Structure formats: structure tokens, C-alpha cells
Structure 1
Amino acid sequence: MTTHETPTAGDLAPLLEPLKALANPVRLQVLQWLREPEKHFPVNPAVTDPRAVGVCVTHIQAKTGLAQSTVSTYMAVLERAHLVRSTRVGKWTHYRRDEERIAWLVKELERGIGNVFQGDPLSLG
């Protein structure tokens, strides 16, 4: 007879918030775009470096075609999950991926369910 050990909430808790954040296709798409911001968003090096500072939320909003409030909510979810970091530049908020946290998440998923990913699972292309 095989006994299956049920994970405790404490074992899963660190993974729940990022996985819930990634369950939304738009949030997942935004995270993919932020992997290569120069390819997906207007870049003005005189204003900010999209890799160091991030992409302005207005550019993210324009690319998604969603309401500003929806995009702000989506980005807040990604930030609470520590998948993106925000930086204020004047009155604008810029977002960039938190590569350390994403690498941690991939490592934890591989440890927990096996190596099922080829490359970066948060890059859809």
C-alpha cells in the first residue's frame, strides 16, 4: 500500500501568490513582454532605461488596450507576488521583472514537480 504525504499549507504558501498571479493570461503576457522591453514597448533612453528602471505603466496600458485601473490592479498583483518591481519616475510608475524571484519560482516548481520547463517558463515565445 502506498501512502501519499499531503503537503502542508506552509510548504505551498510561498508558491501560491505567484501562481495565482500567473493564472491570468494578461498578467502572464505582460510578464513575457517585460522580458524584452525594448522589443515590445517604446524606448526613450533619455527618459529611462527599460531594463534598469522598467516600462512606464502607460505603455503597458496602451499595449494591453485595457483600462488604466485594470492594468494598475494587474501590476499590483504581480508586484505583491514579487514577480515585478516598481520604480517611481516623477508621477509615473515603471515596472520591470524581478528576475531573482522568477528564477526562485522556477527552481521551486522544478523541485516540487520535476523539471518540466524548457528555458524560461515565463517566456511564452
Structure 2
Amino acid sequence: MPVVAVALYKEDGRWLMHRRPAGKQHGGLWEFPGGKVESDESPANALVREIREELGIAIDASDLKPAGFAQEGEGERPRPIVIMLYTCTVWEGEPQALEGGAIDWFTPDDVLALDKPPLDRALSSTLFQKRPD
């Protein structure tokens, strides 16, 4: 199952993370915001839609830079998840947690230390081996 996520980066060196609402799968854990890719969407367009719905900000697909991916192992569920992570440094609006939970900005070391779902742990490890252009 294709899923997209974004690592929003501020010039002060901090990255936005979203804490999942209690009661949802992985509730209380921190993740990169995003969501599922619908069958009629490209990954970048799905991410533009998801971020508008989840954070209330506008991003442009042309500002997204691929940063890596993480996937569940075969047999973990009928359709294993593959998360494609993008970075973005340009957006319009102030991010808000519109679908519950919380958001905050963290340094790379703080992101690595947060309690995260397994795929987000893998994504953050990959991301912080790289730096935005």
C-alpha cells in the first residue's frame, strides 16, 4: 500500500513531526505527516492533498524532494505499507494538527530520540544521514 510523508524543514534546523492521536493505530507516537496515495493520484499530488487536510498548509509538488522510503516486510499484512518520504522547505500557512494529535518542531537529534512507529524510525535514520539542499 503506497503511503507518502513529508519532512518539513525550517531554516533554524528544525523538522516538523506529528504525534498521532490516542485511539488510532500507533496513537501517541511521532511520525512524519502524510497519508495514503489514492489510485488516481501521483505520490506528490497525494502528499499535497494530505498535507492540506492534515496540517492546513499549501505545498507545491515541484518543491518536494525525494528523501527515501521504508517498507514493511512481506506477510506483515495483506498489503504491506511502503512509505515514500519527501522533504520540503517551502509552504504557505502555519502548520496545525487539524486531525488531532499534536505537532512540534525538533532538531535532528530530537527527532531520532522520539518514540516513533518502526517505518518512521527507519525514515528518520535515512533522512538524517542526508541534509536538505
TM-score normalized by the length of structure 2: 0.28
RCO higher in structure (CA 8 A, sep ≥6): 2
Q: Which has the larger radius of gyration?
A: 1
**Which structure has the highest strand share of the two?**
2
**Which structure has the highest helix share of the two?**
1
TM-score normalized by the length of structure 1: 0.29
